[in-house]
Amino acid sequence: MADLTAGPEKTPPQGNTADAVRASLARRNRKQKLLQGLGLGAIGFAFLMLFILVASLVSSGYQAFTQTKITLEVYVDPEEIKPEKLPRGGFKDVLQASLSELLPEADTSDRATRKALAGILSNGAQFQLRDRVVADPSLIGQTITLTVPVSDPYDQLNKGTIDRDTPEQNRRLKDREIAWFDQLKAQGVISKPLNTGLITNADSRFPELAGLKGALIGSFWALFVCFAISFPLGIGAAIYLEEFAPKNKISDFIEVNINNLAAVPSVVFGLLALAVFIGWFGLPRSAPFVGGMTLALMTMPTIIIATRAALKAVPPSIREAALGIGASKHQVVFGHVLPLAMPGILTGTIIGLAQALGETAPLLLIGMNAFITSAPDGPFDSATALPTQIFIWADSPERGFVSRTSAAILVLLGFLVTMNAIAIYLRNKFERSW
């Protein structure tokens, strides 16, 4: 090719071929540039999409990691809260009294005003006060300092997602309420600390109170059950198929089955769990145990495939050496091959579990999308899981849940990144090349 382009003057013209090549070269190179450009564009598109995905989640989710709170001096009025009536009592009225002290010009004789005033505090504020008084009844009659969350609209206002310039009738907070909030802010009682409730609270109808505790514990149990079932079963199956199984029709059939299971849509596994585990076996709905079993069936093919690859990677010389000094086939596999393959197996298992952690559809079908306001006590209690909690929150109309959903997704992605990082670390640390 170099000859063709380099020396047209010295050598006599080689006829039409060389001319044709020379004439078309620019066009051909343009075509190559075009293909390169398109390829680069495709990669750029994928990058851009990932960037937009992450950026939109972070920009809408970061605000859920803080929570607007108000600090009140509460006089625990013995008139309203009587020790003998605990845990009942007028906690709401007590809180409101201390709030109206901060906003003296609000006319508390007007019912609508009182209601609007009460709307500043989160619905959970009274329970926070109640729990504190119940724990220590001697507080009755004293003045205590209490920091409670404000309700969702004020939280949004403080974080700037409510635009003050929208006309009043289209705004969730009226001018009067915004004025109150500004007044409170000027008095320095409004703070915006780290939102620990996102991790320590269970689900709630009120965005400012909703947290991921129930979902985290539910996901933990589901993954635990999934691991406890799929890890031994997967390894057992893989060892048998790789090391012991005779090459016959039955082994082939099992292999085909495993490969197909890996490609069955996840929602079908949900149908299986619903019909068999819940319908026929009568196991409880919404339980992480059932979720874990379902996920185990889906994770098992992944673990089997990874384990077989890891076993294959152990060189035959190891097996032959062990056999040669008199070990039995089982002793060879369990004493030598399996320990050497363990890093590869663990890597595959962690990646499989990370997939299971993000799996949503089968959990929806077995009812792990229930609204549950307390964390589960065990694997048989009703619970949600992280991805189903995201689904529930994404369906909720309140503005505050949008940022909660993004925050929950960020938490989920955080777990996935961590698990994958551990898998990569294991692979790099322990992988041996023979």
Partner 1 sequence: MTTFVFAALLGVSILGYLLNRRAAAGLRADGARLHSLPGYHGLFSFLSTLVPVLVLILLWLVLQGPVIDHVVMSGLPAGSLDDLDAGSRQLILAEIKSIARGQIFGEPEQWKLDAAQRYLQLQRISGWVLLAIVVILSLTIVALARSRVGAAFRARHGVERIVSGLMIFCSTVAIFTTIGIIASLLFESIRFFQMVPITEFFFGLNWEPQIPLREDQIAAEGAFGWLPVILGTIVITVVALFLAVPVGLLSAIYLNEFAPDRLRAVAKPVLEILAGVPTVVYGFFAILVVAPAMRSFGASLGIPVSPNTALAAGSVMGIMLIPFISSFTDDALSAVPRSLRDGALALGATRAETVLNVLFPAAIPGIVGGILLAVSRAIGETMIVVMAAGLIASLTINPLDSVTTVTVQIVTLLIGDTSFDNPKTLAAFALGMMLFVVTLIINVFALRIVRKYREAYD
Write out the binding residues for partner 1, residues 361-380 only, by CB under 8 A: 361, 364-365, 367, 369
Q: Which range in 111-119, 173-181, 270-278, 425-433 contacts partner 1 by CB under 8 A?
A: 270-278
User: 92, 175 in Cβ contact below 8 A?
Assistant: no
**Which of 349, 133, 118 is closest to 223 using CA atoms?**
349
For partner 1, the closer of residues 98 and 369 by Cβ is 369
**E-state strands within 85-238:** 143-149, 190-191
For partner 1, the closer of residues 68 and 403 by Cβ is 403
Q: Which amino acid is at 318?
A: I
Tell me: does residue 396 bind partner 1 (CB under 8 A).
Answer: no
Handedness of CA 185, 189, 190, 194 (dihedral sign): positive
Helix (H, G, I), strand (E, B), or coil: what is residue 71? strand
Per CB under 8 A, which of residues 215..244 are in contact with partner 1? 232-237, 239-241, 244
Tell me: does residue 312 bind partner 1 (CB under 8 A).
Answer: no
Question: Minimum Å distance from CB 253 to partner 1?
Answer: 7
User: 238, 255 in Cβ contact below 8 A?
Assistant: no
For partner 1, the closer of residues 75 and 415 by Cβ is 415
Report the helix count and the strand count for the chain, using DSSP H and E: 18, 3
Which residues have a Cβ under 8 Å from the Cβ of 169 and sit 6 or more positions away?
A: none
**E-state strands within 215-301:** none
User: 98, 73 in Cβ contact below 8 A?
Assistant: yes
| Interface size with partner 1, residues (CB under 8 A) | 94
Q: Which of 64, 125, 133, 278 binds partner 1 (CB under 8 A)?
A: 278
Q: How far is CA 105 from the centre of its chain?
A: 46
Q: Which of 13, 19, 47, 164 binds partner 1 (CB under 8 A)?
A: 47
Question: Minimum Å distance from CB 80 to partner 1?
Answer: 31
For partner 1, the closer of residues 85 and 312 by Cβ is 312
User: 133, 76 in Cβ contact below 8 A?
Assistant: yes
**Which of 232, 254, 226, 231 is closest to 242 using CA atoms?**
254
Residue with tokens 């406890």: 228
For partner 1, the closer of residues 83 and 370 by Cβ is 370
Per CB under 8 A, which of residues 69..88 are in contact with partner 1? none
Per CB under 8 A, which of residues 322..341 are in contact with partner 1? 328-330, 334
For partner 1, the closer of residues 40 and 176 by Cβ is 40
| Residue 82, both tokens | 């009587």
Tell me: does residue 313 bind partner 1 (CB under 8 A).
Answer: no
Per CB under 8 A, which of residues 151..180 are in contact with partner 1? none
For partner 1, the closer of residues 95 and 222 by Cβ is 222
Tell me: does residue 23 bind partner 1 (CB under 8 A).
Answer: no
Tell me: does residue 394 bind partner 1 (CB under 8 A).
Answer: yes
